[in-house]
Amino acid sequence: MTPEGIKRVAVFCIIKSGDLYLLLKRAKMPNKGKFVPVGGKINPYESPLDAVIRETMEETGITISNPAFCGVLTETSPVNYNWVSFIYLSEIEYIPAPECDEGELFWIHSDQLKDLDTPPTDWYIYQYAAHNRPFVFSAVYDGELNMVHLVDELCGKMIL
């Protein structure tokens, strides 16, 4: 178990096929029941690039090559939810949504993303990634994990 206050390091892969996003409806915490990109923790001595390729394969069975780096998301809270996540994008040919041990995978049309039950940061991540706009987002949460604010660190702009 990770001690309280330690930031954990993770990767996420936004998998796309045209206007469709392959998202995971998580079966466990954190973000249980929400739709998220596939991903997970970076192992010691593993680069973010190697981790995103490994995590995508483990969760979907899909081998990605040359995922595009999109940006970094830091999440800070006064409780045990503190992350640094490297976000990548991989465009693939459409395949039926594979089985996944972490929950259920679904293809979601880009028009449905705004109304989908996702973590509060994800809509902004999808928008930046869709426009090839790099980002360094800093999200701060309260003790109940409600997002207090989101800052685009590259331009110093408060997004939310």
Q: What is the pLDDT of residue 4?
A: 60
Q: What is the pLDDT of residue 80?
A: 86
1 or 120: whose pLDDT is higher?
120
Residue 1 has pLDDT above 50, yes or no: no
Give per-residue pLDDT as tens, 14-35. Answer: 999 999 999 999 999 889 999 9
* Alpha carbon distance 139, 62 (integer Å): 30
> What is the residue type of 68?
A
8 in Cβ contact with 21 (< 8 Å): no
**Residue 40: CB partners within 8 Å, gap ≥ 6?**
10, 11, 51, 55, 58, 59
What mean pLDDT comes out for the span 63-74? 96
Torsion of CA 18, 21, 22, 26, to 10 degrees: 180
What mean pLDDT comes out for the span 43-59? 97
What mean pLDDT comes out for the span 86-104? 96
Tokens representing residue 148 in the block: 């207090």
What mean pLDDT comes out for the span 81-102? 96
What mean pLDDT comes out for the span 24-52? 95
Q: How many CB atoms lie within 10 A of CB 69?
A: 13
- 115 pLDDT tier (thresholds 50, 70, 90): very high
